[in-house]
Every structure is written in structure tokens, then in C-alpha cells.
Amino acid sequence: MISRLILFPAWILFAGPVALEEQPHLQLPPSWSFIPLDLAVLVLRLLPAYADRARFAAVCPQWRAATRLPLPPPQPLLALPNGTFYSLPYTKPFRFPGCGFAGYQSVCGNWLIFPCDNGCFLVDPFSRATVTLPALSSVRLWPPNAVAERTDSDKLVHVTWMHIRESNKLHIGKLIMCSPNLVAAFVGIGKISQILMCQPGALSWSVHAYDKCRMFEDMAFYQGKLYAIADDENLLVVNVSEDHNTGDPQVSEIGQVIKGDQCPWYHALFDNNMIHNQKIYLVESRGALLMVRRAIWCQVVDGEIVARSNEFEVFKADFEHSRWDKVTIVGDDQVLFLGRRCSRAVSASQYGIPGDNILFLDDDEDDYTYEDENSSVSTYHLRSCCVTSGYPGIYWKRGSDMRLAAWLFPQDL
């Protein structure tokens, strides 16, 4: 009897107390493809990896339809600029069929960002949806008659967009889709940049011409507002208005909401030729805006700066008192995936992974090197303040092109 029952679809086994013998006219479904959608959803909830859900969806159209029902998003993917992807927690690389998606310049949520001659475009590798953005040479100024400002002594007051806009080294350092109608980006040269914004599909970006270019570290769209942070750890709010003539979004004002407390020993030289570098991340977690300060301790060896170790501190934005409050944990159910291009806080329980941890990448653009020729995913444990390998089987060779390794956050299949 048991051997016969296991051949039946699973929902028959749990159909209720009525025995099969008492249902002489019971019609068995012709195939497994007719699994009830509610049961399919229960199965999918036990498959947090994108690769597993993709395999489930590939069985038949009915199973694929189940993946379109409301579900927690799959676990983040690791994207490499050579077109290789990893579906965590699996350590076997894969490539998306078709163009392969190699050569992206940045990542934003579930979007890969590619440059092109007349602008750039975003591609969702999961749905194959695309979004076009304007060229960096097409930027609308506010005010329209802006010119590069100089003092009477012909010295720069401060660097603005007007001083860098003609450079052939302009690039997008960070881009976020704030809403279906608003895209914001850090655009600049080297480590200084300015905030540009546009609508998807628009013909031009918009910039506040006289705003000071800064060494922006990160930005986040939080509770309907755009926030940015630079290396001084000052939290800035970017007020967005609408151009009365075109209806396009534009920066109307940038104001400071929290004054930072930058480490006094930032870039100082310590004993044993140790140097402290840092990176700043903004992440929304459980309704709060967090600033994560990452310290990279380096050592000068034969005139070369070599990265040695990482430490992290987490602060929560206290808007009422205009300050950063230090926190020692992010919660047993929270994991922070940190990257220069895209960062997110995710629920640990829905993926079956340990919480109160930070998973981070060595996606650096700084003037220091590493002794290890391979890079990988690392985990910082907030409770023990130690670093371990996140996924020992996932690694890639370092190089200027591979620094664009990034987290990719799929929304659905």
C-alpha cells in the first residue's frame, strides 16, 4: 500500500481523514503539473535560492505560474562583471542564457547597468525588462544660465558640475531607482561626484549646477525621501522638485539633517606602518536608516599599501535629535548585504541563514592592494566582531575589471 501511495501526487496524501477506499470515483490528476497553486507556494517558500526556484519554474507552465504569486524574494545573487553569477548558497557559477550580461558598469537592486554611446540602459536579467537613461553629455542645468564660478583671484570657490561636465572620464558611481518615475545617480570623475536625476526614458539628466561636488559614499531612498552621505558622514537630504516646463524631476535643494562624527584617525599613520581607510554605507533595516562604517586597516610594506583586516560599526539615524546613534547589533533576523553599488538588509529566517551578520565584498576602488590574489565573500559577525569566509567555494581573481563585483537582488522570476 505504501509503495502505491508514494506514486500519487502529494496533496492526495494529505487530503484528509477520508480513506481512498471510500472514494471509489476519485479521479487522480493526469500529471504532477496539476499541483494546486497553494501547495506550490508552500513548496516555493522552502526554496529560498533563485536557482531552485528557476528549476521549479522550468518544469511546466503551471509550475511557472505559481512562481508569479506573492512570495518572499529569492536570496541575493552575486554578480561578476565577466557575466558569471552565483545563486547563494550554491557555489557553482552559472550564466544567464542569451547575451550573458557581461560588461555591466554598476548594479541597482535587480538591475544591471550598461553604458552605451547615446546613454546607458538598465537590464533586469530575470525578466529581461529594459530601461533607457540619458547620455551623460545630455544634462539640463539649473539655473539654465549657470557658469563655472571663480573668485576675483581666479581661484576655485569649490568644484561644481560646471567644472567637471566636459571631462571624458565622467562615470556613474552609484545609481538607484527611487520610484518608477525617478532615478538618481552619483556622476563624477575620480572620487568626487555630483547628484544627477532623471525619469526613466527621458532625454536628459538634471543637475543643480552650483551644488558642491563631494566625495559621496552612498545614497538611499528612505520613507519617500532621497538621502546621501559623503566621507564626512554628514547625512544630507535631497529635496526634489518638478520642472514646470518639462515635468522632469530636479534637485531643488540639498540640506544637512545629521552632522557626522568622522573618525579622527581617518587616514592617520599608526605604529607598524598601519593606515586606516574607511567606507560608508546606507542601508534601511526594519524601518530604520542605518549608516555602516567599514574600517579597512592597511599596512605600508615596501612602499605599497596592503589591506590587512576589516572592522564594522553600525549607527542608526536619530532624526529627532539630528545624530547618529551607535548600535551593537542589527537583530537576530537581519543580515546586511553590503556593496559599493548596492546594499540591502534581508530577513535571515526566510533564507535559513544566521542573523546579526554583515556579508561584504572587496569591491574597492582605492589605492591599496591585497596579498591574496583571489577575492571572495566575507562575513562580519557583529556579536563576536570577527571576520570569516562567507562562502568558501566562491572566489574570483582580483583585477581592475573585477572590482565591480556586486550583489543582485531579484524581485521575482
Per-residue pLDDT of the chain (413 residues; tens, 9 = 90+): 333 333 334 443 334 444 444 555 556 656 777 788 888 889 998 999 999 999 999 988 888 888 888 888 899 999 999 999 999 999 999 999 877 789 898 999 999 999 877 778 999 999 899 999 999 999 999 888 888 765 444 555 689 999 999 998 999 999 999 999 999 999 999 889 999 999 999 999 999 999 999 999 999 999 999 999 999 999 999 999 998 888 899 999 999 999 998 665 555 667 778 888 889 999 999 999 999 999 999 999 888 889 999 999 999 999 999 999 999 999 999 999 999 999 999 999 988 899 999 999 988 766 788 888 889 999 999 999 999 998 989 999 887 778 889 999 997 54
Give the cell for residue 412. 521575482
What's residue 272's pLDDT? Answer: 78
What phi-psi label fits residue 272: left (phi over 0), alpha (psi between -120 and 50 degrees) or beta? left
C-alpha to C-alpha distance for 70 and 91, rounded to whole angstroms: 27
pLDDT score recorded for residue 17: 46
- What is the predicted pLDDT for the residue at 247? 85
Please state, in angstroms and as integers, the Cα–Cα distance from residue 246 to each residue in 121, 177, 226, following that order.
22, 20, 21
Residue 314 bridge partners (DSSP): 292, 327
CB-facing half-sphere around the CA of 78: CA atoms within 13 A: 29
Q: What is the CB neighbour count within 10 angstroms for residue 79?
A: 23
**DSSP assignments along 239-271, one per residue:** EEEE-TTT--EEEEEEEEEE-----TTTT-B-G
User: Distance (Å, rounded) from C-alpha 297 to C-alpha 114?
Assistant: 33
H-state helical runs in 129-275: 161-164
What is the model's pLDDT at position 380? 97
Separation of alpha carbons 39 and 256, rounded Å:
50
The torsion region of residue 356 among left (phi > 0), alpha (psi -120 to 50) and beta comes to left
Residues in the chain, overall count: 413
The pLDDT of residue 310: 93
The torsion angles phi and psi of 104, rounded to 5 degrees, stand at -65, 155
> What's the rounded Cα separation, in Å, for the pair 136 and 117?
10
Q: How many CB atoms lie within 10 A of CB 205?
A: 26
Going by C-alpha positions, the residue among 27, 75, 67, 30 that lies closest to residue 50 is 75
- Helix (H, G, I), strand (E, B), or coil: what is residue 36? coil
Residue of 171, 190, 220, 201 whose CA lies nearest to 336: 220
Copy the grid coordinates of residue 390: 562567507
Distance of CA 263 to the CA centre of its chain: 25
pLDDT at residue number 155? 57
> The C-alpha cell of 38 is what?
497553494
Q: Residues 386, 390, 391, CA angle at the centre, nearest 5°?
A: 150
What one-letter code names the amino acid at 51? Answer: A
Instruction: Give the Cα separation of 144 and 208 in Å (integer).
Output: 10
Q: What are the helix (H) ranges across 132-283?
A: 161-164
